[in-house]
Every structure is written in structure tokens, then in C-alpha cells.
Structure 1
Amino acid sequence: MTAPERDATAQPRRRGRRPAGSDTRAEIVTAARLAFAEHGYEATSLRAVARRAGVDPALVHHYFTDKAALFAACQQLPFNPTEQIDRAVAGDPDHVGERLVRFFLSTWDSVEGRPRIMALVAAASTHEDAARTLREFLAREVFGRVVAGLGTDVPELRGSLVASQLVGLAMARYVVRVEPLASAEPEDVVRWLAPTVQRYLTAPLD
């Protein structure tokens, strides 16, 4: 059989979007990681990630509830940001600062969380693209979500002030390891920091 005849009888290659499979989730995460690095958090959409991964957008939603969950998977964070932040905001608003600081510390001090947070903060401190992506993620899905849930005034200012405390805490306690903060018990850190975070969240800022 000649080469043209063999080509004519060969089965055509399947084209189009890939179905779900054992490697599909990993391929979506890889595509999202590249998209976040190139375009930042805000400019990256789940539809764009799906297109890059060659899958149907519904398949992205099948694996990830929202963009925040996809970002968490890209960074190998051991928590779902939206679920945890919503849980921290729920309840007595006069104690949301305490719940928020305790949530961050419990995540950062975990075996899974500490190396990932250290890597994320270290990368953001040395690479502008990483800093932009982390900044946009925190502004929208973490601190922005907290102040939006509380319904207080000047939400952007309040969110940035809370970020200054908690991102600063991450850098000082886990990356630079400033003592005695680095070795302090988590409940002591909560006691020291929660009143300031609470004031930024709910008190008048005049």
C-alpha cells in the first residue's frame, strides 16, 4: 500500500476540547498558572483559562468553584479562600478581627501552609508580576471580601490597612523571622494584633 493510500485509510485525528480525565485538572491548573503570571489575577477569567487548556468552561467549574479556588490550587494553598473568609466574617462583627487573625495564623502555622505562604510572599517581594497577582488576589478575594461582608465605609482604605497588618505579619514572622514575634505563641499574636485589625475593619477612621 502506498503512503497516500495509508493516509486515506487512517482514522482522522480527533480535534476539539478535551473531555474530563485524570490529567485534565492538572492541565487546567498549569494553564491558569501561566495566565495569572502573564495577565495578573483581575484580567484572568475562567473562560480564558479553559480556552488555554483546551477544555469546555463548564469543566473548569466542575473542578473549581470559582477563580479564587483555582488560584489557591495554582499556589497549592491548603484552604479555599472564599469559604474561609466568609466563615471569618460570619458572626459577631465586634470579633471579626480576632477570627481573621486566628484564621491566618492557623493556616500559616500548619505543616502544609507555612512553606506555601513563605514561597508566595518571598516571590511577591522580588518579582513584580508575582506581587501584582498576589496584590489583586488579596484585594478582591480576601481583604476586599471581608470589608464588603461587613458593609462598612471606605472599604478600599480599610482593606488596605488590614492587608498592611497581615501581610506585614507574614513577612516578619515567617520570612524575615523577626524575634520575638517569630517564636511567639499564636494566641499571643492574636491578642496583640486582633484589636488593631478590628479597629481598621469597624471603628471610625477619622
Structure 2
Amino acid sequence: MLNKTRGRPRGNPDTKARLVEAARALFLAHGYQGTTVRAIAGRAGVDSALITYHFGSKRGLFGQALNLFCVDPAALDQALRGDPAGLADRLLNAVTTLWDATAPTENRMALQDDDAMRALRGYLESELVVRIAEFLGGPDATERATAAVGVLGGVIFTRYLNPVRPVAALPSAEVRRVFGPALRAALHTRAARRPGVRPSID
């Protein structure tokens, strides 16, 4: 039997740094979805429980490994609570709060190569789209979540990564006011029915 002890997990003082280094290499090589907690721990030579201890989860490690300080799982957790009607405002608030708090050049430098962008896309697909769809529920939840991430991605790209001056110059409150209607429509408008499918009577 394993000898399980309570308290602080054992490890060398540089364990956290080794996990970050190992995770970065694997995320860039295999993308977010293709990288497992076990693989990161194995490359770092530590127990996988230390990832939970130091970072909370794989998604918590992801932002630190790629120096993407705008990726904060706690912010998404907070946005995905409460009244569905207020989800658009909470998501936009999370995006503007996180990205505005980080120097734009830091995020652009972190995403300057194709591998980093591929890893970020994988994160958005497997975390943001999936979790928003779970929150929305319903047969077309994935389509609505995908549309919503498209709106959020547009805000991030035109305001932070490749700034378009009118968008970049907007105060945070104005970003929420201007983009809120489009995001609410994406989140809450039922997907168009495919041709040949008889519409139901609501």
C-alpha cells in the first residue's frame, strides 16, 4: 500500500519551476488538448498531485507555462455562475479585467509563434467553448458557445493582440456596452434550423 501522508506535498524547492518548464515544452509541442497532466508530471519527474497543489489544475498551469497572465481559470469560474441573462456581461467583464491588467506587449510576445497560438486555440476549444456550452445547456449549446467565443475572440484580437485603434481606445465599460448585444445574441439566440428540417411550433 502507498504511504499517504497529510500536509504539504513533498518536493524540491524548484518543483514549481520544473513543472512550468515541462508544461511549456509539452503545450508547445502537442497543444493543450494533446498534453496530459501525467505527461507533464512525468517530464518534470514529480508526482502529478503536485500540479493540483501548485496550480489547481492543468488549465491553471497553462497560463503560467505560456506566460499568458490573461488566462485565469478563476475568472471563468466566476463568470459561469449566476443568472444566465447576465452571462454576456460577466464574460466581457472577465476578458477586459484580465487583459487590461496585463501589458499588451507581454501577451503579444507570449503568442508570437504559431505553436503558442495553436496551444491557445486548443485551450479555448476544450475549456471555454465546452464550459460555456455546459452552462447554457440544450441541443444547440455548443453552437451558441462557439459563436460566443467567436465574439470574445474578436474583442481580444482587435483590442489586445492586433489592436484596431477605435476598439483599443474604448474604455472597458464601453467595450461591454458596444459588444454586449452581439455576445448576448450569440449566447441566447437559438441556432437556425437546417434546410429540410421541419420547424417546431414554440
| Structure 1 residue 175 displacement after superposition | 2.9
Preserved CA contact (<8 Å) 1:41 1:136 = yes
Partner of 2:23: 32
**1:58 is the counterpart of 2:49:** yes
Root-mean-square deviation over aligned CA pairs:
1.9
Compared with structure 1, are the counterparts of its residues 78 and 174 closer, same or farther at alpha carbon in structure 2 (3 Å cutoff)?
closer
Matched residue type, 2:107: I
Preserved CA contact (<8 Å) 2:32 2:120 = yes
User: What runs of 5+ residues in structure 2 fail to find an aligned partner?
Assistant: 1-9, 193-202
**1:76 is the counterpart of 2:67:** yes
> 1-side partners of 2:147 and 2:103: how far apart?
23
The alignment partner of 1:180 has SS state of helix
Matched residue type, 2:109: A
Preserved CA contact (<8 Å) 1:75 1:116 = no
Q: 1:85 aligns with which of 68, 76, 80?
A: 76
| Structure 1 residue 170 displacement after superposition | 1.6
Compared with structure 1, are the counterparts of its residues 167 and 179 closer, same or farther at alpha carbon in structure 2 (3 Å cutoff)?
same
| Structure 1 residue 27 displacement after superposition | 0.6
Matched residue type, 1:76: N
**What do the CA deviations read for 1:137-183 (whole angstroms, capped 9, x no partner)?**
01122232122122143233223212221222122112332121111
Q: Which has the larger radius of gyration?
A: 1
**What do the CA deviations read for 1:108-153 (whole angstroms, capped 9, x no partner)?**
111x363443334x43xx51x3232111101122232122122143
| Structure 1 residue 195 displacement after superposition | 1.5
> 1-side partners of 2:116 and 2:108: how far apart?
13
> 2-side partners of 1:108 and 1:163: how far apart?
16
Preserved CA contact (<8 Å) 1:69 1:82 = yes
> 2-side partners of 1:194 and 1:117: how far apart?
24
> 1-side partners of 2:149 and 2:71: how far apart?
18
* Structure 2 counterparts to residues 8-157 of structure 1, below 5 A: 20-78=11-69, 81-110=72-101, 112=102, 114-120=104-110, 122-123=111-112, 127=114, 129-157=115-143
Structure 1 stretches (4+) deviating beyond 6 angstroms? none
Preserved CA contact (<8 Å) 2:70 2:99 = no
User: What runs of 5+ residues in structure 1 fail to find an aligned partner?
Assistant: 1-18
* Structure 2 counterparts to residues 138-177 of structure 1, below 5 A: 138-177=124-163
